[in-house]
Structure 1
């Protein structure tokens, strides 16, 4: 069987194309919450990428100390109202150090998003490779890789991350190390998803046709199976990003994540735990940034899942249709019937004559 014939037998849902992208975009746009979350995420990404430009506009950087802006007589509280907010320091300065809060906040967005995305990439790569290899291998390979995946899933993530971060030399770049450790200890679930999906896909007719045509295992996996894994992998990866942001913030909060002077939202929360009364904005700003980021990414991930799932998309269409029908019924109920309008007019005319 020729390659062209095999390609035509691939189901449309498993091959990303222009029509599939249009359907996905249409389903995603039908969800208002997901679109709002997408706008928020886009703004956060722009802030993270444009951190040097934004801090240059302010005229500050995240590492310079400003002792003249700190009241040492009061224990290091920023001088001025609202934590030292001014034209030179848009969100004020840190207690004790006087470092610019706005600069540290936007650079912290770069660190948090960068670590989360890198960790998600590691998780997806390891999970897909191990899951596909387990599904396509013989019984012994499947058993071995499945048991390794079970161990990774059962492993307490925070404890393992704390242990690994504690033994690695501090000379290793900390953001890279945090991303690698989160990725290496949390790929088990996506590995199970990839294995289960591959076991289903390899029994389909177009995969059997490719095998009969003489294709090797690697070629079948690359050309036929990986496109079918795209939807579930993208769905789960979209939900892993906010979880990884929370993990990075937790590790930095515990003091084993990103180290000073590199700014991180979790690290800022750690430093702010004793200043929440004297300088509440020092605690509220990184906490709010972390909350908004995780919430927006979670809502967007749920919207992506709904847009990629035909069953969820059909429920969305049914719900939209029912809302439109209910609106139409309400508008029709408000209109007076043709038979009722004439008697009312005639009665009004009689009363006026009398």
Structure 2
């Protein structure tokens, strides 16, 4: 504990605080959730695929930008030649209609863009939200009022409308994935993080060890780093884990609307935009990026919920499935109850009560 706590403890003040769960306890609680472990394995596989995209495409012998006009049937409007969109030894998932670009290469490179944009936006959202929330919670009433009103304004901003407006005025030479990540981070997410951190800061600053550090003359920055941030770690990590799937969906929506990542850079949302007219002639062109988005967002959501429950054992999972409910029902059935033949004791007479 800090030096300030020693002085307060000597004065007789109770400075005991509940200990935060350590890494061993967190891992033990997370392992008890099978759905979270499966989701973590899926997320790890997706990240590995995104990082190894150049190696995987080199093994296939393809790249995401090369056109293969000989693999499409121009007489039928550009439909891939062959079954299942031209699936074969040279093209593991077939080729795109009209262009003939390799689908597998575009999917794995699209994973790099989608995951990179969402993770970058999450880092900016968490950093900005924690800074504003802590400053608002520890500052005076004027600082708190100004920062709270600014946060409320950003909470009310519609993400898609603001993103469409900002993306339309930025020069085309600016790197599009970086621009999309910055806009998603600045328009949404950080304001909700700031409100959550402010509420937690207002609670933590009234605890003995935080009050002692402030009374001992520590600066606001030192108090925030040494005393508040360790207590804020659990809720911030939990919220960050739930922000990632939201940011993936936002990037896909912007790319689907045509204002996100621009060709020839592949993106899952961009692939869905090009596939909306091919769902009958070449359904795999629509199903593959849609399935990749669904699996990624679902796995991230389940993992985020598992992290939240592991960090806060008092919280119940919002994604409980039938196995958990059956286990609870068996526990209630096995719990001892009153004997069926038990006769309640008669009430005492008025003379006895007197």
Q: TM-score, normalised by structure 1?
A: 0.86
SS in structure 1 of the partner of residue 149 of structure 2: helix
SS in structure 2 of the partner of residue 110 of structure 1: helix
**Where in structure 2 are the equivalents of 1:110-259 lying within 5 Å?**
110-186=112-188, 187-259=190-262
Task: Work out whether 1:262 is the aligned partner of 2:265.
Answer: yes
Task: Tell me, in whole angstroms, the C-alpha distance in 2 between the residues paired with 1:115 and 1:11.
Answer: 38
1:213, distance to aligned residue in structure 2 (A) = 2.5
Q: Residues 220, 82 of structure 1: CA spacing in aligned structure 2 closer, same or farther, 3 A cutoff?
A: same
Task: Tell me, in whole angstroms, the C-alpha distance in 2 between the residues paired with 1:314 and 1:275.
Answer: 39
Counterpart of 1:338 in structure 2 is: none
Task: Tell me, in whole angstroms, the C-alpha distance in 1 between the residues paired with 2:238 and 2:248.
Answer: 17
1:272, distance to aligned residue in structure 2 (A) = 0.4
Query: 8 Å contact 1:178–1:258 — kept in the other structure?
Result: yes
Q: Residues 223, 253 of structure 1: CA spacing in aligned structure 2 closer, same or farther, 3 A cutoff?
A: same
Q: Residues 120, 13 of structure 1: CA spacing in aligned structure 2 closer, same or farther, 3 A cutoff?
A: farther
Task: Tell me, in whole angstroms, the C-alpha distance in 1 between the residues paired with 2:329 and 2:58.
Answer: 49
Structure 2, unaligned runs of 5 or more? 10-14, 336-354
1:2, distance to aligned residue in structure 2 (A) = 2.4
Task: Tell me, in whole angstroms, the C-alpha distance in 2 between the residues paired with 1:209 and 1:72.
Answer: 76
1:73, distance to aligned residue in structure 2 (A) = 1.2
Task: Tell me, in whole angstroms, the C-alpha distance in 1 between the residues paired with 2:60 and 2:317.
Answer: 48
Question: C-alpha root-mean-square deviation of aligned residues, in Å?
Answer: 2.4
SS in structure 2 of the partner of residue 310 of structure 1: coil
Query: 8 Å contact 2:4–2:212 — kept in the other structure?
Result: no
Task: Tell me, in whole angstroms, the C-alpha distance in 1 between the residues paired with 2:303 and 2:315.
Answer: 15
Counterpart of 1:76 in structure 2 is: 78
Q: Residues 11, 53 of structure 1: CA spacing in aligned structure 2 closer, same or farther, 3 A cutoff?
A: farther
1:94, distance to aligned residue in structure 2 (A) = 0.4
SS in structure 1 of the partner of residue 315 of structure 2: helix
More helix per residue: 1 or 2? 1
Task: Tell me, in whole angstroms, the C-alpha distance in 2 between the residues paired with 1:165 and 1:148.
Answer: 22
Q: Residues 320, 226 of structure 1: CA spacing in aligned structure 2 closer, same or farther, 3 A cutoff?
A: farther
SS in structure 1 of the partner of residue 218 of structure 2: coil
Q: Select 1:96's aligned residue among 92, 95, 98.
A: 98
Counterpart of 1:2 in structure 2 is: 3
Summarize deviations over 1:48-94 as a string: whole Å, max 9, x none.
11111111110101011111111111111111111011100000000
Counterpart of 1:11 in structure 2 is: 17
Query: Which runs of structure 1 show a deviation greater than 3 angstroms over 4 or more consecutive aligned residues?
Result: 3-14, 313-316, 318-329
Q: TM-score, normalised by structure 2?
A: 0.86
1:135, distance to aligned residue in structure 2 (A) = 0.9
Task: Tell me, in whole angstroms, the C-alpha distance in 1 between the residues paired with 2:305 and 2:79.
Answer: 42
**Where in structure 2 are the equivalents of 1:18-29 lying within 5 Å?**
20-29=22-31
SS in structure 2 of the partner of residue 312 of structure 1: coil
1:310, distance to aligned residue in structure 2 (A) = 2.8
Counterpart of 1:346 in structure 2 is: none
Task: Tell me, in whole angstroms, the C-alpha distance in 2 between the residues paired with 1:271 and 1:7.
Answer: 66
When structure 1 is superposed on structure 2, of 259-268 and 226-235 the one drifting more is: 226-235
Matched length: 324
Query: 8 Å contact 2:278–2:286 — kept in the other structure?
Result: yes
Structure 1, unaligned runs of 5 or more? 330-354
1:313, distance to aligned residue in structure 2 (A) = 6.4
1:150, distance to aligned residue in structure 2 (A) = 0.2
Q: Residues 22, 314 of structure 1: CA spacing in aligned structure 2 closer, same or farther, 3 A cutoff?
A: farther
